[in-house]
Amino acid sequence: MAEAIHKKLQSELEKYQQMQKDVSKSMTSRQKLEAQLTENNIVKEELALLDSQNTVYKLIGPVLVKQDLDEAKATVSKRLEYINGEIQRYETLLKELERKSEQHREVLSSLQQEYQRAQGQAVGKV
Amino acid sequence: MCVSDTLQKMHVHIYRQCISVIITVNYSCIVARKQSLFQHMLSTLPKCIEQAKAYSTVVTVGSLHAVKLLYVKVVKDCRSQFEHWKKVENDYESLQERLRTLPDKLSYDIMVPFGPLAFMPGKLVHTNELTVLLGDNWFAKCSAKQADALVEHRKKHVKNTLDDLQKVMKNFQNRADFTDDLEKLTGDTGDFVDIREEVINEEEVTKAKHRLAHKANSKPKQEYLLDLEEDKEKKEGDEEGTTGVLSEEELWARLDELERQEELQDERYRLDSTDTNGEDTTSSSEEEKEADGGSDVQVNGHQKENGWVPTSITSQMNGTNGSHPEDEEEEDCDEEAGNGLPTIYFSHTAEFKKVRINTGKNTTLKFSERNEQKAQAKRKKKSGKSNGHSPHESYKITSPADIYRVFVDLVNGEPIPRKSILKSRSRENSVCSDTSESSTADFEERRAAFGRSWSHDDATHSDTSDGITEEESPTGTSPHTNGCFEAFTSTVIEKDPLPCSIPHLTIAPPALPTIPERKLEEVGPEAPQEPPKWMSKFKATRLHQK
């Protein structure tokens, strides 16, 4: 009896750890997105400081490609929107993962208690 | 479980805060093309988060230490980031300098770096044309001035980041300090002291109450503490009614006795300095009646003398000068053990008895005393369970005596009743027989003893009011301070010129100096000094006059 519980406990524990890893992964990617968000914001602001007389280039691979200022502004805005959307997606994902890990934690704790009880009983029996 | 969850969430939140900060850092890293630093920063964060989670699972409710460690870690991280951002700012500053001087010449002769190890002489041309990295793989060709503007714009961002970092750092530093303090508090270490004011238990309250209720020199503190108990538990009226009824006759009888004694005391007091002992004993006996059932008479007496200290607040720890009424409570307080923290037991002294206004006959005093007690109790009730301290704004005036009690001046920290505006000043320094001897005595004492306890007064109601004034005196009377000496230059020495010439507590030689002068001198010496001097002076005066 205790053995079975123990095994279950182990499996649950592993699942929980996996979940935690997922959570941290999504957390990392979300951080990256946050960084990109701030960056693009600054680019947008700085583009606003320029006038059409300056040429704007985009680094694509090893090549600096000339871009129109307005085009650049539009591109940057689009990128910003995209990043925001991604962040939202990750947010929801994270929430889901958190919730799931909570559930898992509860299951784990109950299993743990059961296991301890069983162990106690086993000791008592013995 | 939920605690740890919340803790974990908290920690995660903490690190999310840091994340947002770091993200801006990361951006600047990109701008500065320090990708490695950026990556490092990014990588540390998830580790920190996991650590936070680990902490949260490890941390139990009681382990403040781990929480504190976490906070300290955050503070450290913030500090390092702060350093980094400061460097970035400095770099931008120097860049701006360079940008300003660069277009000065058409071309510069420089040593051009070839790879990591070699340089070659060369020329720097097109000094005004710059290709600026805007971020996210965007470049722009601009002039030096335009680049300068861009750099300014970035510096603004850096400043914001720095400010945020500062805030976070301060915040977490405070939290860490707080957990430290919390640890100290719970650990009974450090300078934290628990200050308590104990209220006597109900038994004593009830027992003492009917002793106090109509006492001539009932200790105000006792009274109001008792009343406080009452208020807490029963309706004030009921309490007073029931207990008063039980012992009223006995109390009245006792009261009359006390009054007679007081008059005797006053006589003796005037004549002989040693009478003070007698007074003290009588007063102490009175006080003994009041509530300190177990107190030693002599102890009371001594304390009575010591109790010239006008301070109305003595801490348990310095309890030597405790007022008589405090005795019992102090004892009680002593009995109660501190809960691991050093505890200061706060209790009010009955030192200051409000200067008694000569209301003439004692009959009224009783009544007013009663009224004052009631007022006191009501006040207590209203104030609720403060630490034994009535709010000083309890200017509830239910009887004329209350007025005198409430409106007192504060001269050198001692409450002095204001002189009535109706009383002419011409009466100062003039010998006029005002009223009875008792009133004379009252006047004397009022003059002499600022803020002294008047236990030996025949001021039954002054005693009660003392308690009331006690509460107010430390706090409430301060607004009334006007340092007016004149208000107190009171009265005259009536039939016996001796007493008025005798400053009870002045250092001045006991001649017949003007009263005001003596009073000034009186104010000079602080209360603690007075008792011993007072003794000797009195004697000296008497001898001198004899």
Flag whether pLDDT at B300 surpasses 60: no
Decide if A73 contacts B134 (C-beta within 8 A): no
pLDDT the model gives residue B159 = 94
Flag whether pLDDT at B167 surpasses 70: yes
Question: What percent of chain B is modeled with pLDDT above 70?
Answer: 34
B38/B395 Cα distance (integer angstroms): 67
pLDDT the model gives residue B318 = 42
Q: Which residue among A24, A35, A60 sits closest to B50, beta carbon to beta carbon?
A: A24
pLDDT in tens, B274-283: 544 444 444 4
pLDDT band at A87 (very low <50, low <70, confident <90, very high): very high
pLDDT band at B112 (very low <50, low <70, confident <90, very high): very high
Angle between helices B236-271 and B275-290 in degrees, nearest 10: 170
More confident residue, B139 or B481: B139
pLDDT the model gives residue B88 = 94
Q: Nearest chain A Cα to B148, which residue?
A: A49
- Mean pLDDT, range B325-343, rounded to an integer: 45
Q: With contacts defined as CB-CB under 8 Å, which chain A residues touch B142?
A: 50, 54
Flag whether pLDDT at A80 surpasses 90: yes
Q: Which of B321-330, B398-407, B423-432 has the weakest average pLDDT?
A: B321-330
ipTM here: 0.81
B21/A90 Cα distance (integer angstroms): 19
Q: Pull the structure tokens for residue B459.
A: 């001021």
pLDDT the model gives residue B370 = 52
Nearest CA to B193 out of B339, B327, B335 is that of B339
B302/B96 Cα distance (integer angstroms): 81
Question: What percent of chain B is modeled with pLDDT above 90?
Answer: 13
Flag whether pLDDT at A79 surpasses 90: yes
pLDDT the model gives residue B189 = 55
Say if residue B246 is exposed, middle or buried (CB neighbours under 10 Å; 0-12, 13-18, 19+).
Answer: middle
Q: With contacts defined as CB-CB under 8 Å, which chain A residues touch B3?
A: none
pLDDT the model gives residue B160 = 93
- Mean pLDDT, range B476-502, rounded to an integer: 49
pLDDT band at B63 (very low <50, low <70, confident <90, very high): confident
pLDDT the model gives residue B12 = 42
Decide if B345 contacts B315 (C-beta within 8 A): yes
B26/A31 Cα distance (integer angstroms): 10
pLDDT the model gives residue B81 = 92
Q: With contacts defined as CB-CB under 8 Å, which chain B residues touch A105?
A: 1, 5
Flag whether pLDDT at A30 surpasses 60: yes
- Mean pLDDT, range A34-54, rounded to an integer: 88
B16/B245 Cα distance (integer angstroms): 69
Q: Kindly report the CA angle at A46 between A43 and A48, in degrees rounded to 5? A: 110
A22/B94 Cα distance (integer angstroms): 44
Flag whether pLDDT at B333 surpasses 80: no
pLDDT band at A33 (very low <50, low <70, confident <90, very high): very high
pLDDT the model gives residue B538 = 80
More confident residue, B124 or B454: B124
B390/B384 Cα distance (integer angstroms): 8
Nearest CA to B452 out of B372, B351, B333, B345 is that of B351
Query: Nearest C-alpha of chain B: how many angstroms from A63?
Result: 11
Say whether B27 and A102 touch across the interface (CB within 8 A): no
pLDDT in tens, B373-413: 565 556 555 544 444 444 444 567 788 888 777 777 666 66
pLDDT in tens, A62-73: 999 998 988 889
Say whether A45 and B5 touch across the interface (CB within 8 A): no
pLDDT band at B439 (very low <50, low <70, confident <90, very high): very low
Burial letters B342-354, b for 16+ CB under 10 A, else e:
ebbbbbbbbbbbb
Interface test with A, best of B23, B134, B150, B159 (most A CBs within 10 A): B134
Mean pLDDT of chain B: 61
pLDDT the model gives residue B369 = 52
More confident residue, B229 or B420: B420
pLDDT the model gives residue B271 = 74
Rg (CA), chain A: 26
More confident residue, A7 or B227: A7
Burial letters B67-93, b for 16+ CB under 10 A, else e:
bbebbbbbbebbeebbebbeebbeebe
Three-class SS state of A126:
coil
Query: Nearest C-alpha of chain A: how many angstroms from B170?
Result: 24
pLDDT the model gives residue B208 = 52
Say whether A55 and B140 touch across the interface (CB within 8 A): yes
Decide if B510 contacts B544 (C-beta within 8 A): yes
B393/B471 Cα distance (integer angstroms): 10
Establish, for the pair of chains A and B, how many residue pairs have beta carbons separated by less than 8 Å.
98
pLDDT the model gives residue B97 = 93
Residues of A at the B interface (Cβ-Cβ below 8 Å)? 20, 24, 27-28, 31-32, 34-40, 42-43, 45-47, 49-50, 54-60, 64, 67, 72, 76, 79, 102, 105-106, 109
Q: Which of A23-37, B154-168, B505-519 has the weakest average pLDDT?
A: B505-519
Query: Nearest C-alpha of chain B: how many angstroms from A102?
Result: 9
B81/B246 Cα distance (integer angstroms): 76
Strand partners, B345: B196
Q: Name the DSSP letter for residue B343.
A: E
B461/B364 Cα distance (integer angstroms): 9
pLDDT band at B491 (very low <50, low <70, confident <90, very high): low
Flag whether pLDDT at B531 surpasses 80: no
Domains of chain A listed by start with CATH number: 1-124 (1.10.287.370)
Q: Pull the structure tokens for residue B322.
A: 């405790």
- Mean pLDDT, range B222-238, rounded to an integer: 46
Say whether A39 and B157 touch across the interface (CB within 8 A): no
pLDDT band at A29 (very low <50, low <70, confident <90, very high): very high
Say whether B24 and A38 touch across the interface (CB within 8 A): yes
Q: Which residue among B1, B45, B146 sits closest to A31, beta carbon to beta carbon?
A: B45
Flag whether pLDDT at B328 surpasses 60: no
More confident residue, A126 or B84: B84
Three-class SS state of B194:
strand
